[in-house]
Amino acid sequence: MIDTLTLGQLRTFVAIAEAGGFRAGAARLRRAQSAVSHAVASLEAELELSLFDRSGRRPMLTPAGIALLEDARAVLLKVDTMRARAQGVGMGLELELPVAVDTLFPLPLFGEALLAVHHRYPSVRPHLQVAPLGGPIVALLDGRCALAVTVGDDLNDARLTKEPLGTVAVVPVVAASHALADRIRPRARVQLEDVTEHLQIVLSDPTPMSTGRDFNVLSPQTCRVSTQEAKLALIEAGLGWGRLPLWTVKKALDDGRLVKLPSRSLGPAAESREQAYVVHRRDRARGPAATALRDELLARHAAVRDA
């Protein structure tokens, strides 16, 4: 009966298939070859199938063995994940790691830090929310995330602890096809009045934290969008100009689809540097995975600084 299958039998089957033979499989499992052979024979008897063709010098998987190998691997992965999660719960490890990241922050750098944490705590399920302006702060205050990454010094809350990560470059850009681009000449600067004549694409705050306030809005004409991706798409389409993090537009600048707006009013060297922070609540203890992610982000301080 299939109900009598054991994890040991499945591990033996997978080990032999991956190692390429009974002797190599036994060595991998650190068991006697006779015990390994008996385990596979018992498994075949219970399944009423031959998993290996033993007629040659080396055992080969039969069609049935090939078909069932992935099932065996999947069962073992589920069991191992369950065991790791149970061990984590016992030692206070989080089941999930919900985090919120400012849309300006370089996601590739955040991904590297999250990957390191995943390797260390594979049973913890990461959950990432990317939001602009007050989004990460409100998610943290509402208890929807354990850790947040924010960019900028405009929005704060006394219940939060902020640790600096470095700065993120933000550049004012416009499509090469836009009328503003025609005014850009080598070593020339665009005047503020030139910029404010044109529509500015602005990212909206999904929270009430910035109600009644605008940040870096210069043009009286604005088009407000809810995502950074929409902002970039509209700027590339030539609808207007706007500020975007350099890491998102570098390729478009390099290939000429976008151009920087060289104006002193828009920052030295046509860019501004926004401070990034890793943030957590003062009144909430961080779990092991959240602490590891905080440490990984701080360890990448120099990389963030150069982003």
The pLDDT value given to residue 265:
57
Token pair recorded at residue 84: 């790791």
In sequence order, which residues have a C-beta less than 8 Å from that of residue 202 and are 6 or more positions away? 214, 217, 222, 223, 224, 225, 231, 242
Same structural domain for residues 9 and 156? no
Check whether 209 has a pLDDT greater than 80. Answer: no
Same structural domain for residues 174 and 265? yes
Same structural domain for residues 163 and 21? no
- Give per-residue pLDDT as tens, 272-282: 889 999 998 88
Same structural domain for residues 242 and 300? no
Check whether 236 has a pLDDT greater than 90. Answer: yes
The pLDDT value given to residue 19:
87
Average pLDDT over residues 203-208: 86
Out of 72, 90, 108, a domain closes at 90
Q: Which domain holds residue 43?
A: 2-90
Same structural domain for residues 61 and 191? no
In sequence order, which residues have a C-beta less than 8 Å from that of residue 25 and are 6 or more positions away? 12, 15, 16, 17, 18, 19, 36
Same structural domain for residues 177 and 140? no
Domain count, the chain: 3
Check whether 96 has a pLDDT greater than 60. Answer: yes
Return d(Cα 130, Cα 296) in angstroms, integer. 19
Out of 55, 90, 125, a domain closes at 90
Our measurement of the distance from residue 11's CA atom to the centroid of its chain's CA atoms, rounded to an integer in Å, reads 32
306 — pLDDT class (breaks 50, 70, 90):
low
Same structural domain for residues 230 and 148? no
Out of 90, 114, 136, a domain closes at 90
